[in-house]
């Protein structure tokens, strides 16, 4: 009888431990700090570091595309933040010299044909792209990793999609 009670208690304890670990891994968050976002990006193999500019949190990040070997550097702005710099909104941003001259018509064509990523021309002639996401209402760490994966897809082929080559 003791063996049965001990076994049942052990099983209950282990299932409770597993449930607690699962809850942590799948925990929902409605705000993220720059440090937390940088940690999530490093979990997927990217480089990332948090900072603050003009009292606004941001993350400087980069990844290397496994197909082309090209490294893409970009920044991430965090918006609608509380006093502890935990924020509801994430904006991935990148600007670079296009491989070919780009017109406003080319940018508009890109924007009309894409679901994710908004292209724009900067005053200095660089070509910019951004992807904005909100986590208000709650997301898991995995959701944020999926956002980052969409960003990777957007910028990996961005120049070729806008310039046609």
pLDDT interval class at 164 (50, 70, 90): confident
pLDDT interval class at 84 (50, 70, 90): confident
Distance CA 155, CA 92 (A): 10
The helix/strand/coil state of 40 is helix
Residue 3: pLDDT over 50: no
Q: Which residue has the higher pLDDT, 3 or 38?
A: 38
Q: Would you call 74 exposed, middle or buried from its count of C-beta atoms within 10 A (0-12, 13-18, 19+)? A: buried
What are the residue boundaries of the structural domains of the chain, listed by start? 1-27, 31-163
Report the topology of domain 31-163: Yope Regulator; Chain: A, (3.30.1460)
CA-based Rg of the chain, rounded to a whole angstrom?
21
With a CB cutoff of 8 Å and minimum separation 6, the contacts of 44 are: 145, 148, 149
């Amino acid at each position: 009888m003791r063996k049965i009670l001990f076994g049942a208690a052990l099983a209950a304890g282990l299932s409770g431990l597993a449930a607690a670990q699962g809850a942590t891994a799948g925990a929902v968050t409605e705000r993220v700090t720059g440090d937390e976002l940088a940690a999530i990006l490093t979990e997927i193999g990217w480089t990332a570091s948090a900072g603050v500019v003009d009292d606004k949190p941001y993350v400087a990040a980069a990844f290397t595309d496994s197909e082309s070997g090209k490294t893409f550097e970009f920044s991430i702005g965090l918006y609608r933040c509380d006093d502890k710099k935990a924020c509801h909104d994430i904006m991935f941003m990148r600007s670079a010299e296009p491989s070919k001259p780009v017109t406003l018509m080319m940018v508009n064509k890109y924007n009309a044909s894409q679901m994710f990523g908004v292209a724009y021309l900067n005053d200095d002639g660089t070509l910019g792209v951004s992807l904005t996401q909100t986590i208000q209402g709650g997301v898991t760490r995995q959701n944020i990793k999926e956002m980052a994966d969409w960003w990777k897809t957007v910028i990996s082929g961005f120049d070729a999609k806008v310039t046609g080559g």
